[in-house]
Structure 1
Amino acid sequence: MKFFRDTWLIFARQMQLLLRNPVWVFVGVFQPVMYLLLFAPLLKPALSPLGVTSDAEAYQVFVPGLLVLLAIFGGLFQGFGLIAELRAGVIERSRVTPVSRFALLLGRSLRDVVSLIAQAGIITILALFFDLRVFIGDLLLAYLMLALIALMTSSVSYGVALAVKSEDALAPLMNTVAQPVLLLSGILLPLQFAPGWLEDVAKWNPFSWAVDGTRALFAGDIGNDRVWQGLLIVSVLTVLSVWWAAREFARSVR
């Protein structure tokens, strides 16, 4: 019971800080909106070899990848705020409180999840004006996938931030990880366009399974194996990431 109370206290505090300056929610969706407005119109002719013949089908391919992109990058760069807290002594002062060390991580990560879902909602609503159509049940399951990705990536980012304790080290490290993850997940274009060797390499990228599963949900194919495979892979990695990051928090504040 104490753990849930501590998590809620940290989450409520972090949400209060976010709501004081909600502009960051909209800043976070600026780049995805630019992709939606300036890149997506090119998709129908580009995807015609895959049988895409309408704007609605093109956006069912593109928007899920865009949302996964938002979840990955939105989570991986949350560690910069934690480094600022370290420098300000916020984490140091946590040592004298009885708050669970696990709650210190989970409360922050859940704030990131809520922020991501709000941003995903904005992107989805905008995409409706471009003929995107998706069933609400499939959409909610897709959002669950996104929430798990955001929880995983933000936990990893916090754990790495606690380990390196420097923006100068965190920035190149996160970029080095994010770029191959992006290119090997088929976020912008499906990997059906890729040569065989690239598809084989991409199978080792868990986010490619998440992208395929999310696309299946947006297409209304909830029974597709990729949906459940993606959810399973992301869930396992999320548990491992949260466990590792919580250990880093415990080491930093004990």
Structure 2
Amino acid sequence: MTAFVVAAHYLRETFRNRFVIVFGVVQPGLYLVFFGPVFTGSGVGTWDVLVPGLLMQLALLTCGLTGFNIVFDHRFGVLERLRVTPASRFALLVGRVLKDAVLLLVQAAVLLALAAAFGLRASVPGMVAGLALVIVMALGLAALSYVAALTLGDELFPPVAGTAVVPLLLLSGALLPMEGAPAWLDVASQATPFRHVVDALRSLFAGSTEGVGQAVVGVALFLAVALPLATRVFSRENA
């Protein structure tokens, strides 16, 4: 229950500035507006192929870089003041992660509405199931972002996180399907949970369930590793 109270506190702060929501959707939105017509018009793929990739891009930008928030809290002593409150450190961490997931859900809904205006005609149950899969994956992604931020510190985290997002995005097959990639690149892509999530999203948007089970298992394992690791790092006295 405490985690939900913490999440509600952070969400109130976040939604006071609607620019945060809009800014998060800007980059995927620009791909949708400028890359989408070329992508679909050239026969490379359809909106059902492109939009799931843009959802992955949004998740990586929103939750993969959320560690910036805790970097500033750590620098200015906010984190240490929170640690002496009655709230458990696990609740403080989970509250942050839940806030990130809710923010991502709102941004994803905005992106899907924009995509529908451009021509996306996906299965509604498939989109709902796909969003649920992305949100669960985002919980683990946000947790690992906090791990990286607390481990690397305020000097190393920004360049490392900013650099890591690009290869993860490309390996996920978000912008172009990885089936035609060289064998070594395809293997590297299969080693990440993000590739399986993107493939499952494309299946779900098309009204299919192909590859969904594999993605669910991958995301569950990802979360099972990320959340305990983040809890341990977040609970360290000298973190």
Give the structure-1-normalised TM-score. 0.89
C-alpha RMSD of matched pairs (Å): 1.6
- The equivalent of 1:229 in structure 2 is 214
Which residue is 1:40 aligned to? 36
State the match for 2:127 in structure 1: 139
Residues 137-181 of structure 1: CA deviation (Å, up to 9, x unaligned): 211110111102221111111111112221x20012113322221
Structure 1: which 5+ residue stretches go unaligned? 53-57
1:55 aligns to what?
none
Cα distance, 1:45 vs. partner? 4.6
Q: Distance in 1 between matches of 2:7 and 2:193?
A: 28
Conserved in 1, the CA contact under 8 Å of 2:74 and 2:80? yes
Partner residue, 2:15: 19
1:185 aligns with 2:185: no
Q: Which residue of structure 2 aligns with residue 206 of structure 1? A: 193
Paired residue secondary structure (1:104): helix
The CA deviation at 1:253 is: 7.4
Q: Rg: which structure is higher?
A: 1
CA distance in 2, matches of 1:245, 1:177: 18
- Matched pairs, number: 239
| Residue 6 of structure 2 is aligned to residue 10 of structure 1 | yes
**Matched-pair contact (CA < 8 Å) for 1:11–1:111:** yes
State the Cα distance separating 1:85 from its structure 2 match. 0.9
Kept in 1: contact 2:56–2:169 (CA 8 A): no
Provide the secondary structure at the position in 1 that maps to 2:118: coil
Query: Residue 63 of structure 2: SS of its match in structure 1?
Result: helix
Aligned residue type for 1:7: A
Report deviation, 1:250: 0.9
**Which range is displaced more, 132-141 or 121-130?**
132-141
Residue 152 (1) aligns with residue 148 (2): no
| Structure 2 unaligned spans of 5+ | none
Distance 1:29 1:11 in 2: 21
1:28 matches 2:29? no
- Residue 47 of structure 1: how far off its partner (Å): 3.7
Secondary structure of 1:202's aligned partner? helix
The alpha-carbon deviation at position 201 of structure 1 amounts to 2.7
TM-score computed with the length of structure 2 as normaliser: 0.94
Alignment partners' CA distance in 2, 1:246 and 1:173: 21
Residue number among 240, 250, 253 corresponding to 2:225 in the alignment: 240
Counterpart residue number, 1:102: 90
Alpha-carbon offset, residue 187 of structure 1 = 0.5
Measure the CA separation in 2 of the matches of 1:111 and 1:43.
33
Secondary structure of the structure 2 residue equivalent to 1:129: helix
Once residues 165 and 177 of structure 2 are traced to their aligned partners in structure 1, the CA distance between those partners, rounded to angstroms, is 18
Distance between the aligned counterparts of 2:94 and 2:112, measured in 1? 26
1:253–1:102 Cα change, 3 Å: farther
